[in-house]
Amino acid sequence: MFLVYVLFRRALGERTALLAALLLPTSVLWLDKVPSAEIDMTLLGWVTAALVFLHRALDTDSVTWWVLSLLCVAGGTLTKWTAPAFFVLTAGPLLAWRGELRRLFGWRFVLAAGAAAAVCAGWVFAVSQQVGWDALSDTVRKEAAYRFAPKSEAKGYPWSEVVTYPLLVLAAHLPVSAFALLTLRPGFAARFDDRGRRLLQLLHCWAWPNLAFWALVPNHNVRYALPVSPALMGLGVMGMLAAFSRDAESSERSATHALPFGSRLNGGVVLFLAAWLVAKVAFVELVVPARTARRDPDPPAAALRARVTAGQPLYLFRLKDEGVMFRYARPAVRLRDPRDLPPGAFAVLIRQEWEDRASFGHLNLVHSMLDQQGDPLILVRNP
């Protein structure tokens, strides 16, 4: 929110910056994911910082801002590997639009990219020394394959979701995202001075290329588009200012950076924020406790402790639910090959593994339960 405030203040003034910062978290997607400890929120912070610093670097051509921007990309990469995609899909179209692609070959960008690569390489070296190169590469490969593989191989590529996914993302940011569509009108940029138009360019390149790319990726989830939120909400604010401007012609001739605020806009924003505050309190006090109760990791962890012989390690394969295993509080060992499971050993399978009878069909069912996400957890034992 502070980054968006700073970004807008330099281009459109204090009041518009405050409006953009206040409206940024007023989306259903943000409301749902903030109290859920989602790693996508951390990714959102890194990507936002990277692109805000990129905007500053392009304006000042300062090596400091270039390095800060690419270091944030590195931080985002170590948080979730999709961070470079968001950066490239924004920076590439933006530089092409401005006719400044040559900057990618300048010494400032090369130096900054080298610093970011050094951070990532240092992390890769440290992790490979701790867990081994094979485990690291296999984990990264599987994560990438999961994102680019359809949820159901039997159904194939989800063509219908290519259209519905962007609509779902826009719907998750209503009502502000509806005003973002107004910024696509020809001549809209003429309402702003040079700083405003450069900000508009950044937000367009931030929102639409990323939305199009992640719509084409077959494994769709609305939360994957969280790093696009600042762009959609920022475009919505700019469209809102134009829609509620009392005098468009005078605003185009105005020497100020921002369009004038109308009384209807001021009153509407105050009412909307008040309603959103009520919704936020209700969500935190009522919805979150109820949802947390359904995702309590203690019951499945207790079921595992009751059935697995004390002192014997529990084996895992593709299970990712660390909450249940943390509450299980006993030794667990991850295996890659079912044939490595010792005789008499217990293992926890996810549904896809249990249904893979060719690999896991020789194991005996001990108990079936649900994890924190409501997905099946199957406790099995090797005969």
* pLDDT, tens digit (0-9, with 9 covering 90-100), for 173-230: 999 999 999 999 998 999 899 999 999 999 999 999 999 999 998 877 888 899 999 9
Shared domain check, 310 and 218: no
Least confident window among 20-34, 85-99, 285-299, 330-344? 285-299
Identity at 213, one-letter amino acid code: F
Count of H helices and E strands in the chain? 19, 5
- Consecutive H or E run containing 293: helix 288-294
Between residues 374 and 6, the one the model is more confident about = 6
How far is the C-alpha of 231 from the C-alpha of 237, rounded, in Å? 10
Are 333 and 308 a contacting pair, CB within 8 Å? no
- Consecutive H or E run containing 272: helix 263-282
The whole-chain average pLDDT of the chain stands at: 88
The mean per-residue pLDDT over the stretch 53-60 comes to 95
Identity at 283, one-letter amino acid code: F
Least confident window among 36-40, 114-118, 178-182, 316-320? 36-40
- Under the banding of pLDDT at 50, 70 and 90, the label for residue 140 is confident
Shared domain check, 303 and 366: yes
Domain boundary among 235, 261, 290: 290
Q: How many CA atoms lie within 13 A of 321 on its CB side?
A: 24
> Domain containing 162: what range?
2-290
pLDDT at position 33, please? 82
Domain boundary among 255, 290, 325: 290
Shared domain check, 129 and 202: yes
- Under the banding of pLDDT at 50, 70 and 90, the label for residue 249 is very low
Q: CA dihedral defined by 190, 195, 197, 200, rounded to 10 degrees?
A: -140
The mean per-residue pLDDT over the stretch 160-167 comes to 89
Shared domain check, 304 and 273: no
Shared domain check, 344 and 213: no
Shared domain check, 81 and 36: yes
Least confident window among 102-116, 127-141, 177-191? 127-141
The total number of structural domains in the chain stands at 2
Domain boundary among 264, 290, 316: 290
- Under the banding of pLDDT at 50, 70 and 90, the label for residue 256 is very low
Percent of the chain residues topping a pLDDT of 70: 92
Integer angstrom CA distances of residue 267 from 5, 237, 240, 274, 375: 21, 15, 13, 11, 45
Shared domain check, 369 and 224: no
Closest residue by Cα to residue 170 from 159, 160, 179, 183: 179
Shared domain check, 308 and 259: no
Query: Could you give phi then psi for residue 219, rounded to 5 degrees?
Result: -90, 95
The most confident of the ranges 132-136, 156-160, 278-282 is: 278-282
pLDDT at position 30, please? 87
Closest residue by Cα to residue 25 from 39, 45, 55: 45
The mean per-residue pLDDT over the stretch 264-278 comes to 86
Between residues 158 and 2, the one the model is more confident about = 2
Shared domain check, 273 and 331: no
| pLDDT higher than 70, residue 300 | yes
Least confident window among 47-61, 100-114, 253-267, 305-319? 253-267
- Under the banding of pLDDT at 50, 70 and 90, the label for residue 129 is very high
pLDDT at position 156, please? 73
Shared domain check, 26 and 169: yes
Shared domain check, 362 and 282: no
pLDDT at position 257, please? 46
**pTM of the full structure:** 0.80
Shared domain check, 228 and 93: yes
The mean per-residue pLDDT over the stretch 122-150 comes to 82
